[in-house]
Amino acid sequence: MSRVLLTGGAGAIGAAIARRLLADPRYDVRVFDDRATPLWMREGCEIRDGDLRSRADAQTATNGCSVVVHLATHAPSGPEAGAQPYSVIEHENAIHAAVIGAAVEQSVERLVYVSSAAVIERAEQLPTPETEIRDCPMPRSPRAFARLSGERYCLAAREQHGLPVTICRPSAVYGGVASAGGAPGALPGAGEPGVESLIGELLAAALAGEREFELIGTPARTLTPTHIEDVADGIVLALSSPAALNEDFHLAGTRELSVAELLRLACDAAGADPAAFELRTGAADDPEDQADAPRNWPSAQKALDVLGWEASIAIEDGLARTARSLAEASDGRIGMPI
């Protein structure tokens, strides 16, 4: 049996991965996170907490684990987020140094680093293959830069110490309702590292029957949404596949969609009238929300060729599931419009 460590495993993506691993008798799961965990996770997983910026805590987390799935990040939310670009980068780099360093010292069989498609936010080749990361301009947003920094830590550890690594870049992840320990009714993606908050906000607005939505950027800006269940499937395939060793993969849905198209689909999922919405452009407090990239369209062809993975949940079905979950979890605070 392989023991798998999920750093940051109490989040939405970590919880989806943990469910899959717990259903497979080949795996024993340890979750290391300072956030609250739900009952099912406490019953099925070994739960530990601490500060992953500390090398000692990172060593404790990795001790006895053969595989590390590194999800832990630093994502301040709310009005203060845009005022903390240094803290985002400094905090996350400290986590990477400690966790990846501990993985080297523990000689783990594989480290799977969960990055983000945001690292290719300035890519010129569309759809964007994995090879573009070598020539793509550096991302401007602090969080995307911090994610890219984690990739570079992984590659350096592989080159210098022979650490076996696999890098996964999920694209515009949506689905679920809140982090594993989140409050009932929380918006999908609200303050959740790695999850696209815009999609949850569009759904919540449609469910509530709002008539105006403040948008950062332009309605023509595009995303390639990927349901969280598909993302979790891809990461589990990547951690177990011999062919994935020392490779990187985009985990992206099948359709590039503009924000305007996403609004229409969100309204359809919520039973609302998209014609009743007014998209209003607002100013961004957070520099990363300025939407430098007009298009984000990663190619998932490599994941299909090497892992046999492709997104299976159509955006219409995924949004409908998310709308139902959000309406149920809100306990009446957000309801389907009549």
Domain ranges, ordered by start, for the chain = 2-173+225-251, 176-223+255-297+313-329
Q: How far is CA 223 from the centre of its chain?
A: 14
Confidence of residue 276 (pLDDT cuts 50, 70, 90): confident
**Range 39-57 average pLDDT:** 97
> What pLDDT is recorded for position 328?
80
What CATH superfamily is the domain 2-173+225-251? NAD(P)-binding Rossmann-like Domain (3.40.50.720)
Rounded Cα distance between 185 and 202, Å, is 15
Distance CA 101, CA 111 (A): 11
Sign of the CA dihedral running 282, 287, 290, 295:
negative
Token duo for residue 175: 């689905």
Hey, which bits of the chain come out as E strands?
2-7, 27-32, 46-48, 67-70, 110-114, 165-170, 173-174, 212-215, 222-223, 226-227, 248-251, 257-258, 278-281
Percent of the chain with pLDDT over 70: 86
Q: Considering only residues 112 and 212, tell me which one the structure prediction assigns the higher pLDDT.
A: 112
2-173+225-251 shares its CATH topology with 176-223+255-297+313-329: no
Which pLDDT value is given to residue 81?
Answer: 53
Q: How many CA atoms lie within 13 A of 217 on its CB side?
A: 19
Beta-carbon contacts of 300 under 8 Å, excluding residues fewer than 6 positions away, are: 249, 250, 251, 252, 253, 254, 309, 310, 311
Amino acid at 63: N
Q: What is the pLDDT of residue 183?
A: 40
pLDDT band at residue 52 using 50, 70 and 90 as cut-offs? very high
Cβ proximity of 32 and 18 under 8 Å = no
pLDDT of residue 337: 30
d(CA 23, CA 2): 13
Mean pLDDT of 12-24: 96
Asked if 191 and 75 count as a contact pair (C-beta separation under 8 A), the reply is yes
Q: What is the mean pLDDT of the chain?
A: 88
Spatial CB neighbours of 284, under 8 Å, sequence gap ≥ 6 = 82, 216, 217, 290, 291
Give 13-33 as a DSSP string: HHHHHHHHHHTSTTEEEEEE-
- Pick from 6-10, 167-171, 197-201: least confident: 197-201
Q: Which residues make beta-bridge pairs with 48?
A: 32
pLDDT of amino acid 217: 75
- Per-residue pLDDT for 214 more than 50? yes
Which homologous superfamily does the CATH classification assign to the domain defined by 176-223+255-297+313-329? UDP-galactose 4-epimerase, domain 1 (3.90.25.10)
144-188 pLDDT tens trace: 999 999 999 999 999 999 999 999 999 999 996 544 444 433 455
Comparison of pLDDT for 76 and 169, the residue scoring more: 169
Output 184 or 46, whichever has higher pLDDT. Answer: 46
Span 283-311, mean pLDDT?
80
Task: Give the model confidence (pLDDT) of 232-271 as tens digits.
Answer: 999 999 999 999 999 999 999 999 999 999 999 999 999 9
Enter the DSSP assignment of 278.
Answer: E
Is 141 or 228 the better-scoring residue by pLDDT? 228
Q: How is residue 121 written in tokens?
A: 């936010």
